[in-house]
Structure 1
């Protein structure tokens, strides 16, 4: 798990859109409605593919020199950087539903005070585990 930088080739599609391909990462491609969206989607596609490579113990390909890429008229290249460790953290940050029991009087008082139970539990667990 590491940080990677790969060149991507952007091809204009329609009025504002772009398709994106990574010549060094077989099967890795994406698209976006505009340039900003295409950059974000390219980052996600590359991160997903490299996490898949890592999980399956596949060798990560060497990135080409961006200056040596062959492109068609209208295309351009850009370097896309991903951190698979950081990307895995975003995947593991999904909410998990937990069932718990508290005294009825405490539930009534917290509800009357407008307390967000999920946030309060998260805050308390982080404090208890010293994960600030």
Structure 2
């Protein structure tokens, strides 16, 4: 899923930036400079929305504009939660499966990697 949300950037005295997404609960970050703050904003936005998706929470509609304090500015940040999952949620998990004994013996004799075959088949099936 692709999303775009407005973020409030607040310059700090030390040259850093604080970033807040008012439309999303507990979605904020910071950066050492503007470039870092933009990078971190995309990361925290994706992480927050992945959490919303996983918990089955309603994802709020993004605001068109935000109320700003003196010195703050608004920027729209985009993210792709599917891409985020592929890049960050790659921890291997163990799955138990059942296959016929004859198929197991043939595959073992040919040195086939069961995990690799299953991953390739699942990727083909889900279109990933």
TM-score under structure 2 length normalisation: 0.70
Q: Which runs of 5 or more residues in structure 2 are unaligned?
A: 93-115, 124-128
Following superposition, the deviation at residue 91 of structure 1 comes to: 1.4
Which of the residues 72, 76, 81 maps onto 1:79?
76
Secondary structure class of the residue paired with 2:6: strand
Partner Cα distance (2:73, 2:20) in 1: 11
Partner Cα distance (1:33, 1:17) in 2: 5
The residue number in structure 2 matching 1:38 is 37
Following superposition, the deviation at residue 26 of structure 1 comes to: 1.2
Following superposition, the deviation at residue 89 of structure 1 comes to: 0.2
Q: How does 1:77-116 map to 2 (within 5 A)?
A: 77-93=74-90
TM-score under structure 1 length normalisation: 0.68
Secondary structure class of the residue paired with 1:51: helix
Q: How many residues align?
A: 98
Deviations 1:55-113 (A, max 9, x none): 000000000003xx11011100000001000000001346x6xxxxxxxxxxxxxxxxx
Partner Cα distance (1:92, 1:19) in 2: 26
Following superposition, the deviation at residue 47 of structure 1 comes to: 0.7
Runs of at least 4 residues off by over 3 Å:
none
Q: How does 1:1-132 map to 2 (within 5 A)?
A: 2-66=1-65, 69-93=66-90, 129=120
Following superposition, the deviation at residue 29 of structure 1 comes to: 0.4
Partner Cα distance (2:33, 2:21) in 1: 18
Secondary structure class of the residue paired with 2:47: helix
Secondary structure class of the residue paired with 1:19: strand
CA RMSD in angstroms comes to 2.0
Following superposition, the deviation at residue 15 of structure 1 comes to: 2.7
